[in-house]
Amino acid sequence: MSDIVTITPNPAVDVSTTVERIVPVAKLRGTTQQRDPGGGGINVARVITRLGGDVAALYPVGGPTGVLLRQLVDTEGVSSLTWTTAEDTREDFFVQERATGQPYRFILPGPALTEPEWQAGLALLGGLDPFPRFVVGSGSLPRGVPTDYYARLAAVARARGAQFILDTSGPALAAAVAGGVDLIKPSLHEMRDLVGGEPSDATAWEQAARVLIMNGKVGMIALTMGHLGALLVTPERVLRAQPLTMVPVNAVGAGDSFLGALVAKLAASEPLEDAFRFAVAAGAAALLRTGTALCDPADVSRLLADVRLETA
């Protein structure tokens, strides 16, 4: 079994195209066409694989879209662990407007899972032998799945001696944190919902993360803050990274690229500073790609020298 297993309860086939301009009523003819496997955990697994890590992706599949998703994941060289749902796997749509450079993202709700279906995901994870050292849960929860689903997955990982890392939002994130997780990677919006406040600057965000960790439910917090940069907060110290100076092409996949790179380096037992620096470079590298292509290893290597860290 792989060192790392990612879990994506609500995966998707991501369809992306480019049009000259988005206007109502008229037929908008795409000038490009691309399909990628999507959903947070699958994207994280794609990045880990590109960076040479040992990973498998666990996710449900349903109908013809599910078959296509599995094929696309196979094409990426990622090992799959799947179970079947009665309803079809969802598709999401990404449109880039050439006239303005603005991206438009259409996220569909996806299938509703029955209790036996979502229980099958828990059983599939719990039955892995040997068990991975790292379990990464990422993405939204499908309809029908209980809010504490990630908390249940974290409990399975904890019972088997694995670290559980999470990137989700809203009540699902709050429920998992209440149960205890090793690392979370919220955005500013997700952190705002979690702490129930509106920190005014990077220092205030850092303090909010420290409070969460002092409460004993989170081991580390990797907070991605857009134009404010990124933080990695542990019980002992804080690492700060300023944003890289660049012209972004597209923001889709930056968070998944960041997390994939971070987990890949942690699994390789790299020093925390090096893992965080690599993650910041990978998140920035994703901004240079169109659609849902995620980061390119060559861009990550090139940007790595530009990442500057401060330690507190």
DSSP state of 71: H
**Do 294 and 45 contact (CB within 8 A), yes or no?**
no
Residue 197 in this model has a pLDDT that exceeds 80: no
Active site residue 3: no
**Do 92 and 107 contact (CB within 8 A), yes or no?**
yes
pLDDT tens digits for range 242-268: 888 877 667 778 899 999 999 999 999
Q: What percent of the chain has pLDDT over 70?
A: 98
**Do 165 and 181 contact (CB within 8 A), yes or no?**
yes
CA nearest neighbour of 79 among 112, 45, 116, 106: 45
pLDDT at residue 291, rounded to an integer: 64
Give the Cα separation of 234 and 201 in Å (integer): 19
Tokens of 188: 């500013």
Give the Cα separation of 29 and 21 in Å (integer): 10
Please state the length of the chain: 312
pLDDT tens digits for range 261-306: 999 999 999 999 999 999 999 999 998 876 677 999 999 999 999 9
Give the Cα separation of 13 and 66 in Å (integer): 8
Give the Cα separation of 110 and 91 in Å (integer): 8
Domain positions in the chain are: 4-311
Name the CATH architecture for the domain at 4-311: 3-Layer(aba) Sandwich (3.40)
Catalytic residue of the set 3, 148, 167, 256: 256
Query: Can you tell me the mean pLDDT for 174-184?
Result: 96
- The dihedral region occupied by 44, where left means phi > 0, alpha psi between -120 and 50, and beta the remainder, is alpha
Residue 75 in this model has a pLDDT that exceeds 70: yes
pLDDT at residue 228, rounded to an integer: 83
**Do 138 and 41 contact (CB within 8 A), yes or no?**
yes
Give the Cα separation of 144 and 7 in Å (integer): 17
Tokens of 252: 């889709």
Residue 10 in this model has a pLDDT that exceeds 90: yes
- Cα 192 to Cα 140, 151, 199, 301, 304: the distances in Å are 17, 20, 8, 32, 29
